[in-house]
Structure 1
Amino acid sequence: MSDLPFTLDQLRILKAIAAEGSFKRAADSLYVSQPAVSLQVQNLERQLDVPLFDRGGRRAQLTEAGHLLLSYGEKILTLCQETCRAIEDLQNLQGGTLIIGASQTTGTYLLPRMIGLFRQRYPDVAVQLHVHSTRRTSWSVANGQIDLAIIGGEISPELHDSLEIIPYAEDELALILPVHHPFAKQDTIQKEDLYRLGFIALDSQSTIRKVIDQVLTRSGIETRRLKIEMELNSIEAIKTAVQSGLGCAFVSTTAIEKELQMGMVHRVKIEDVVVKRMLAVITNPNRYRSKAAEAFCQDILPQFSSLHAARMEQYRLERADQSKANSAGPLNATNLNSGHVVNSASVNHHNRLVSPEIES
């Protein structure tokens, strides 16, 4: 076969149809007409001499051949993108794109500050921030669609061998109350006091909600006895509800800096209980890492975590030792369900998120 029976544009169209579920929505996402999309699919099917879509239903369903072509097509498109980025890197950060992923809290309150600092240093690099669930974000890193991500949840077991996960910082989840709440006059409350509060929470399947429930349960608190007054799907909505006196909530300290400074909410500690989770930086070691991604990891990440540089150095040493020993098993980890991660057992667990503007 002298010529390939498909073009990159046809692969992009196939991918868009599979993602959108219809020719029309795929055309809209690609900013082309629906007849143009249909014509390209017809040409592709004629060139391959196989049907790619089952046109019997209302939704565009891939045939077996369609699924096979999509699987290889996504890999081809990813390699093409990596090739373009590698060539862009020859210009030494005078252009190119950095794609970062994050879950809701880190993507809303932490990453924008990091990206702002990165843009000050590398103004010619375009930055994209994709905020999704931990599961979707980790898959995007594994597939090469995202350069790196900061997440706070567990990694899917099927990705353990595909990702490198570096423990980054502990994210404390603070208990906040309305300023006129009776407990707002106190700095610390007892465990039993939690049963007297009405809580505003994220959905029970959210990463943060699971962490809160796990920590409270380990501390001897019966989470089923806690009164959940309402469930909301956004941190901003939860903060507003607390400010309005509708209840109390556990919220990441990175999300309430302004509210605490302005006295809009009151934070109380729980005696003998600290709710926190481990944030991690995830990358795909089998994908090309751009100079922009390297610069972000080396220049920006350490400024927002008090011990990130030490963790990175320990990670490199352990990876080197693992390579010398030719060990097939993953490195040990604590608090993270991941494959290739730094052993955090000997790292100071008082690591925290910090702001480069205020850290001395």
Structure 2
Amino acid sequence: MIDIRALRYFLAVVDENGFTAAARSLHVAQPAVSMAIRKLEESLELTLFHRRERSIELTDEGHTLLAHARRIVQATEDAELEMRELHGLKRGEVRIAIPSMLGSYYFPPILMAFRHRYPNLQLTVVESGARKIQQMISEGEIDVGVIVSDTPPADLESHCFLRDQMTAVMLRDHPLAERPSVSPADFFQEDLVVFKQGYFHRETMERLARESGYALKIGFETNLLPLIKQIVRHGFAITTLLTMVIEEDADLVARPFSEPVWLDLSIAWRRDGYLSRANRAFVDFLIDHTPNATTTHGT
């Protein structure tokens, strides 16, 4: 019989890429990790790691066990959490990942209102790109997160809560600001400030460029929204942002594209995993604030 603790140690060694780092993350002595892995290998009669002087690497057998180990440990943690929550929603943690644009301009009042309603719950907010967030949810690193609602992964359930327009953003005295809308041809002639790969902002710009037959003229690349706005404000580049981002910036203007570019964003969680009562409370709270949203499943 496989020991669940040994599987946790096994995953830690894989994720931390070493026995010493795994022991540190687990807050145990390094020999305890080594012994647990050795006993796991003996019970399976398999070698799980190639041990080299300064590194380790999974064997083929180790790779086979890895997928099973993640599912088993996640299912165990789900069961333990569900049993604890039979005592009621008096404590708990919401772990949510949010793209920086929404984290700065859409979610703050929602997070504060939720905390006011559930003062005993802890909120842990992680910033990341929408594609990375999908992976983090699937692998159990976070419980819920915001993803782009184009083609949700098969293992996620999602609820669309926001539909907004991506607009061309520029300095108020920029020549393009005089037009009611901006064509892709004019937009992609300009130097651009863009987010890094993996963020919906960057993916939207790349998709628009690809569909229009143009290339991005990237002048700056950063995930820092204040820096993006400063670059645009000083006339070094233009960009595209959700309209909400510049509502309070009098010196910046947003113009729709000649063919409107809509973005649908969803709150998502593992479809086959256990959604804790704390996280379910947050999802329901968000849905109550977006009554016209819809729930979808991955395909």
TM above 0.5: yes
Q: Does 1:261 align with 2:251?
A: no
Q: CA deviation at 1:96?
A: 1.9
C-alpha offsets along residues 141-175 of structure 1, whole Å, 9 cap, x if unaligned?
3345543322126547xx42x22233332132232
C-alpha offsets along residues 52-92 of structure 1, whole Å, 9 cap, x if unaligned?
21113643212233334333322222122212221232232
Alignment-derived partner of residue 167 in structure 1: 160
| Whole-angstrom distance in 2 between the partners of 1:274 and 1:232 | 25
Q: Does 1:240 align with 2:207?
A: no
Alignment-derived partner of residue 201 in structure 1: 194
- Contact 1:216–1:275 (CA under 8 A) maintained in structure 2: no
| Whole-angstrom distance in 2 between the partners of 1:50 and 1:215 | 50
Alignment-derived partner of residue 281 in structure 2: 295
| Whole-angstrom distance in 2 between the partners of 1:7 and 1:287 | 18
**Letter in structure 2 aligned against 1:147:** D
- Equivalent pairs counted in the alignment come to 298
Relative distance call for 1:195 and 1:290 in structure 2 (3 A) is closer
C-alpha offsets along residues 114-138 of structure 1, whole Å, 9 cap, x if unaligned?
3222211112122333433333322
Q: Does 1:78 align with 2:74?
A: yes
Alignment-derived partner of residue 318 in structure 1: none
**Letter in structure 1 aligned against 2:192:** F
Alignment-derived partner of residue 6 in structure 1: 3
Moved more, 95-104 or 80-89: 95-104
- Contact 1:202–1:233 (CA under 8 A) maintained in structure 2: yes
Alignment of 1:86-235 (within 5 A): 86-152=82-148, 154-155=150-151, 159-160=153-154, 162-179=155-172, 181-183=173-175, 186=178, 188=180, 190-191=182-183, 193-194=186-187, 197-203=190-196, 206-215=199-208, 221-224=212-215, 227-235=217-225
- Say which of 285, 292, 295 aligns to 1:307: 292
Please, which runs of 5 or more residues in structure 1 have no aligned partner? 316-329, 331-337, 340-360
TM-score normalized with structure 2 length:
0.82
C-alpha offsets along residues 211-261 of structure 1, whole Å, 9 cap, x if unaligned?
23434666xx5533x64323334434322322333211112234x24xx42
Q: CA deviation at 1:5?
A: 4.8
- Contact 1:103–1:152 (CA under 8 A) maintained in structure 2: no
Q: Does 1:22 align with 2:18?
A: yes
Question: Going by fraction, where is strand more abundant, 1 or 2?
Answer: 2
Relative distance call for 1:27 and 1:152 in structure 2 (3 A) is same
Higher relative contact order (Cα pairs below 8 Å, separated by 6+ residues) = 2
Alignment root-mean-square deviation, CA: 3.1
